Amino acid sequence: METAEEMTGAEAILRMLELHGVTHVFGLPGETTIGWYKEWRKSDIEYVLTRDERTASFAAEAYAKVTGRPAVLEAPSPGVTHCTPGMAEAYLSSVPVVFFSSDIPINQDKKHGLTGIDQTALYASIAKESFHLTNVREIPFTLRRAFRVATSGRPAPVHIRVPINVFKESASVGDLYAEPEYGHYPAHRPVADHGKVRSALELLSEAKNPVIVCGQGALISGASREVLHLAERLQIPVATTTPGKGVIAETHPLALRVIGARGGMEYSNAFVKEADTVFLIGSNTDSSSTIHWTLYGDPADKKFIHLDIAEAHVGNNFPVAVGLVGDARATLEYMSELIDDLPDTPRRTEVNLSDVKKAALDRVFNSNMKMPEGTVSPVKLTEALDQLLPDDAIVTAEPGVAAIYPSALLSLRKAGRRYLTNYSMGALGYSVPAGLGASYAQNGPVVSLTGDGSLGFVLGDLETIRRSGKNITIILTRNDNFGWIRGEAILLDEVDEPWSIDFGAVDYLKVAEGFGFETARIESEDQIDDVLRSALANPGANFVEMWVPSQDKVVPFVPPWVEAAKRKGLPYFY
């Protein structure tokens, strides 16, 4: 602990961030943060200036996903409401973000001071805790608690409300220290009940047709090696939810790839439905990953084992034979020790899903389905990306055509979180800012797949990307409407012509060129490879546009839609 030192609130906050290993902060300025910025020049923490608070919030969330460290976000009081999309996604995705919102002086909101709002109440429902700093001496304690809360148990964001006067006021501060374990997540790794771990192993050993299903909790825990060890030792196939994509290399013989309603293919969904024992790891068994809880068929016909750090998730939607509350990596490590110490554990016949996966992928890639006039196949785009992307690339994608095809067809050849989606909340406008955040988290190329519905939310931050100098390629899959809403309305709600979903024409290439991007348009399948190679070879900002059919014209990998397409005689991929 340091000797007491006289300092301002701004200095104390920056010092505590430095002590916690923070290297980047995402945000933008306001009158309520000028006092903080005056001290920032003395710090080595890089400030990533965005053009919208929503962009900053999504960028911070993606940065935390890739680095394994809590991200720091800040916003001034006029824009404090704009951070709710990213904070909500982080909260539901179990991603730790420490969010500072500056504010007008304490109680000035009661006088109707401009920009005054009850920030604490606003963020209490989408943060593990919401703090209100009232004096400089509270800062070290509050920040230690904030990082501890954000990274412990189920990781999630926290909110810190800082009145403008606290930045400028000074006090003698003597407890400037950090707790290093809370500079990353998970900070602690509790092992599930040992007796229940043994019971789970017995069930897995006795099962005739078991499957492991990993959600993004397995990625959060960094449990890839442990999942693979268990799978190989017991020869159990491993499926993932869309947010869990990449827990193990998808080219591994035991990798079943993605399942569910947002990228699951017919073979993978059928496999888990036929399983007699399902081991859920780090999954909240949400509607998307379970096709509205129908994926596994009649729950009475199989046994569920569920491992999660959040006890409220365990057994929430399916009856469990064994519930395990603990960190995924630590609990699987213990499970592996038990297996290794029990040589009589039965060894199953070697399982190799390579031929099954290849046949399913080839069937899609080689279908050569005719696209509606003026559009190009998103399947061919994904196939080219699959061949061209280096292993250190990161792909960001958001709901719609932008995510549904790569979720199913892109192959992650190395384990890790290199495919980022926002399928916890699903708000539009995620992929481009997530690409920005990911680019500050690692040095490889970033590809952000977006739709025109989403791009409209974030066009201003093309300037941020260009200014950053980062290697980011935005690929716009365009159809000039909210295609997902159109597909849902026509395919499931039997609406003849959906209302209020179409946009006016925009020359997006000119817009991107105005921001300083290198641009290209793909107008036929034979252009895809050359355009993508050129974009990936340019280390700066790239923008590629490609017209694609809306989801009601060519139906993607969404099982309820596929069933409707079969009835209506529409073309589909599955």
pLDDT in tens, 241-290: 999 999 999 999 999 999 999 999 999 999 999 999 999 999 999 999 99
> Which of residues 304, 320, 354 is at a domain's end?
354
Mean pLDDT for 15-37 is 95
Mean pLDDT for 360-373 is 96
pLDDT in tens, 431-490: 999 999 999 999 999 999 999 999 999 999 999 999 999 999 999 999 999 989 999 999
Instruction: Write the CATH number for 331.
Output: 3.40.50.1220
Indicate the average pLDDT of the chain. 95
**485 & 560 share domain:** yes
Asked whether residue 573 is domain-assigned, the answer is no
Say whether pLDDT at 1 is over 60: no
**347 & 393 share domain:** no
Q: What is the pLDDT of residue 107?
A: 77
Q: What is the pLDDT of residue 495?
A: 86
Asked whether residue 36 is domain-assigned, the answer is yes
CA–CA distance, 57 with 472 (Å, rounded to integer): 18
pLDDT in tens, 39-71: 999 999 999 999 999 999 999 999 999 999 999
- Percentage of the chain with pLDDT > 90? 92
Instruction: Write the CATH number for 87.
Output: 3.40.50.970
Say whether pLDDT at 420 is over 80: yes
Asked whether residue 188 is domain-assigned, the answer is no
Question: Could you check whether the bond before residue 163 is cis, i.e. omega within 30 degrees of 0?
Answer: no
Q: In the chain, what is the straight-line distance between the N-terminal and C-terminal CA atoms, in Å? A: 60
Asked whether residue 530 is domain-assigned, the answer is yes
Q: What is the pLDDT of residue 2?
A: 63
Q: Are 343 and 515 in contact (CB under 8 A)?
A: no
CA–CA distance, 439 with 434 (Å, rounded to integer): 9
Q: What is the pLDDT of residue 112?
A: 80
Q: How confident is the model at residue 201 (pLDDT cuts 50, 70, 90)?
A: very high
**170 & 202 share domain:** no
Q: What is the pLDDT of residue 344?
A: 64
Locus of tokens 């069933």 = 563
**294 & 373 share domain:** no
What region, left, alpha or beta, does residue 540 occupy, with left being phi > 0 and alpha being psi -120 to 50 degrees?
Answer: beta
* Whole-structure pTM value: 0.96
Q: How confident is the model at residue 400 (pLDDT cuts 50, 70, 90)?
A: confident
**163 & 200 share domain:** no
**406 & 438 share domain:** yes
Domain that holds residue 247: 194-354
- Amino acid identity, position 466: R
Contacts 24+ apart (CB under 8 A), 194-200: 194/334, 196/322, 196/323, 196/324, 197/324, 197/331, 197/334, 197/335, 197/338, 198/338, 199/321, 199/322, 200/279, 200/305, 200/307, 200/322, 200/324, 200/335
Q: From the centroid of its chain, how far is CA 141?
A: 30
Q: What is the pLDDT of residue 346?
A: 65
Asked whether residue 359 is domain-assigned, the answer is no
